Amino acid sequence: MPALHLQPASGRIDQHATRLYAERAAATWVDYFILSGSTTRGQQLTTTQRATVLDLCLDVASPERLLACCWEPDDLGHAAKRDITPMATMRNLRDQDHALAFLQALPASAYIYSHPIFGQQTFDVKLADVARRNGVMPAGGKIAKLATADVSALSQVAGASFRLCGTDRRVRSNRHSMPGLQAS
């Protein structure tokens, strides 16, 4: 789930309000929080601001529950220093070779964030197959705008150890129906 950071018009992060939000979020059933992701416009923060968000959330939640969205190489270092799993954005990757080099440079525990708005090359079934065969498969990934029919194929190609998340907002459950609630 994307976690918020509260930022008034000044552009600075409201550390007190963000910490209060993080405390409330940490007390919920949510397994993982994505910090500084695209939902909260994390790409518009500086690397120092993103590190501040990590610290605020790390004060109230264990690092195992946090995914640090990494927009620049320095973000990977900030996540590693705090033992938080990095989720590197696949941005500006021209082609498959460029994507493989990107994946090879990531820490073994890294997740990736793939979205077509970030560039031509996304993490699709074809790239997953090549990444697996070349030993550069990330630990998991948030894969946006993947056709529902391709989710199963990607899961099979990526393998059981790949944690696939964030592929579809049309969540349905027979066990926990919520009348009147519709995904947008």
Quickly state the pLDDT bin for 166 (edges 50, 70, 90): low
Contact 143, 167 (CB under 8 A): yes
Pairing of strands 111-114, 85-89: parallel
Q: Report the share of the chain in percent with pLDDT over 70.
A: 90
Instruction: Write down the residue that tokens 């990531």 correspond to.
Output: 106
Name the least confident of 5-19, 30-44, 123-137.
5-19
pLDDT tens per residue, range 125-147: 999 999 999 999 999 999 988 88
Residue boundaries of the structural domains of the chain: 1-89, 92-167
pLDDT tens per residue, range 37-81: 888 888 889 999 999 999 999 999 999 999 999 999 999 999 999
Q: 86 pairs with which residues across the strands? A: 68
CA dist 164 and 40 (Å) reads 21
In 3-state terms the chain splits into helix, strand, coil percentages (rounded to 5) of 40, 15, 45
Residues across the chain: 184
Q: How many CB atoms lie within 10 A of CB 95?
A: 10
